Chain A
Amino acid sequence: MDAHLWISGVVYGLSMGSIFFLLAAGLSLCFGLMRIISLDQLLYYSLGAYVAYQVNVSTGLTWPAMLCGALAAGALSWVVERWVFDRIYAREITFTMITSFGILVAGVGAIKYVWGLVPRPMGIPVEAQVALLGVNVPVYRIIVIGIAGAVYGAIQWLLNRTIVGTAIRAAVEDVDQVEGLGVDVYRLFTGTFVGAGVLSGLAGALHGPLVMVDPQMGLEVVPFVFMVVIIGGLGSLKGTLVSAFLVGQVVSLGSLVYAPLAQMAPFAAMLLILLWKPTGLYGSALLRR
């Protein structure tokens, strides 16, 4: 097949993987630290996209609009954390999963109410293309990839080089012990949850110009984000990055081979990986409370 097609396919897959990573990283961190599965992250993703769209339409700005989207998502996640999750951290995982699914469904309902059912197009910040190995590639997609890389670096720096990161890593191992030392773990929880919300909102805002902004967008990425999280292993950041790009590539290159199969190929990949390693590529046995 045409080499040019493959190169643009790889770039497309990387940018898509970047969006998946931004979404899944928060989900994965929340699992590692609080032992919750926060399906409502997908609501923050949708909200981030809608707010970015709204600001973009009203002001014509693009990057600031995306920032607004991420911040609005963070604000909503803060409210949800204070009102809902703060009461249910001690419960089992399935409990948080069901509750957060309720939040997601309610939120999608609210979005439909405010913005309607019709998909909305969103302005792209950078229209330019750049030649890469002789192939014209949209600069915006490369920026998205760069942002995901920067976020990964920032999270790693935070976890390994700062005292708060040390506290988070310690709490992933044994939260009671951290609290026994006198660390206010609930603030860590809030911070992590809101951080995840901001990342999800950022993912939605960045994804907006690449797809249409529509009420179902959160539910549509659900399977892909889950695949990323599951393949990578719940709670592992490195695994999340690896599997995000893996799923991105499988979807992108898969669609070059046979378009209708692109939606299914990652699922097949996931099944194979789970058959081989039931807790994902990097899911460790250490992650037990």
Chain B
Amino acid sequence: MSHPDGALVVEGLHVGYGEAQVLFDVHLAVPRGRLAACVGRNGAGKTTLLRTIAGFLRPRAGSVRYGSVDLVGRKPYEVARMGIRYVQQDKRVFADLTVRENLRLASYATGDWDWDVVFKYFPRLKGLLDRKGGYLSGGERQMLMIGRALLGRPKVLLIDEPTEGLAPAVVEQLGRVFEELKGQATLLMVEQNLPLVGRVADVVYAVKEGRVVAEITDPDAIRSGAVEAYL
């Protein structure tokens, strides 16, 4: 398979903590401007995969490349500055910082002080600028996290469980946002919500016990939820 410039390619990735190995020989490739979703049970190693790509974990073997650049061995902030932004799970925003300060921090890190892109996708944040992160609802936090990651024109977005525990209306809104973002960035997402995956994903990787057990590219299969068979 040839990978055009701008693809996120993971090859032969082995990752572990101490004695325990979590990921075994993971291969995946997300073409530029596409959305790939990782599905799998809790503990399958999906978050470990995203954390490794983002530079928080160092793989034992294997490579992570974006275009022609090798990401392995780079520090998380370097990876982030290259435009590969990681949106962590559990909706972690800075509880003690206001929305404005949260955004300013992202602007400071990326040098991009134009917040229009954030408000274009999440107009709601505009009215919450002076509210502290700790007082936001789960949906608002998720908006802030993704919004923060949009500053500095990201090339790749790694999004971990964005819709977990959110109201259907918010999930619906996030789904629309993901569909719009697809054209501009490459997305790799961990998501348990199969209907949402069926709607937005171009590729689905089923992860089981640290291995990719299936790569589904057929749009009909994705939409029909055939992924479920691999969980």
Q: Interface residues, chain A, CB within 8 Å of chain B?
A: 163, 166-167, 169-170, 173-174, 176-186, 286
Q: Is the CB of A183 within 8 A of B108?
A: yes
Q: Smallest CB–CB gap between B191 and chain A, Å? A: 19
The residue from A167, A177, A183, A286 contacting B92, defined by CB atoms under 8 A apart: A177
Chain B residues near A181 (CB, 8 Å)? 77, 80, 85, 105-106, 109-110, 148-149
B212 at the interface (CB under 8 A from A): no
The residue from A167, A174, A286 contacting B108, defined by CB atoms under 8 A apart: A167
Look across to chain A and name the residue whose beta carbon is closest to the beta carbon of B93. A177
Q: Is the CB of B96 within 8 A of A176?
A: no
Q: Is the CB of B105 within 8 A of A163?
A: yes
**Besides A179-B80, A185-B77, 17 new A-B residue pairs in contact (Cβ under 8 A), listed by A number:** A166-B104, A169-B97, A170-B94, A170-B105, A173-B94, A174-B92, A177-B93, A177-B94, A180-B85, A180-B86, A181-B109, A181-B149, A182-B80, A182-B81, A183-B105, A184-B77, A286-B95
Chain A residues near B94 (CB, 8 Å)? 169-170, 173-174, 177
Chain A residues near B92 (CB, 8 Å)? 174, 177
Instruction: Please list 14 pairs of residues, one from A and one from B, whose beta carbons are closer than 8 Å in the complex, sorted by A's number.
Output: A163-B104, A166-B104, A166-B105, A169-B94, A170-B97, A173-B95, A176-B56, A180-B54, A180-B80, A181-B110, A181-B149, A182-B106, A185-B77, A186-B75
Encode contact with A along B96-121: 1 for CB under 8 Å, 0 otherwise.
Answer: 11000110111011100000000000
Q: How far is the CA of A181 from the CA of B88 in the complex (A)?
A: 10
Q: Smallest CB–CB gap between A162 and chain B, Å? A: 10
Q: How far is the CA of A177 from the CA of B77 in the complex (A)?
A: 10
Chain B residues near A180 (CB, 8 Å)? 54, 56, 76-77, 80, 85-86, 88
Encode contact with A along B176-200: 1 for CB under 8 Å, 0 otherwise.
Answer: 0000000000000000000000000
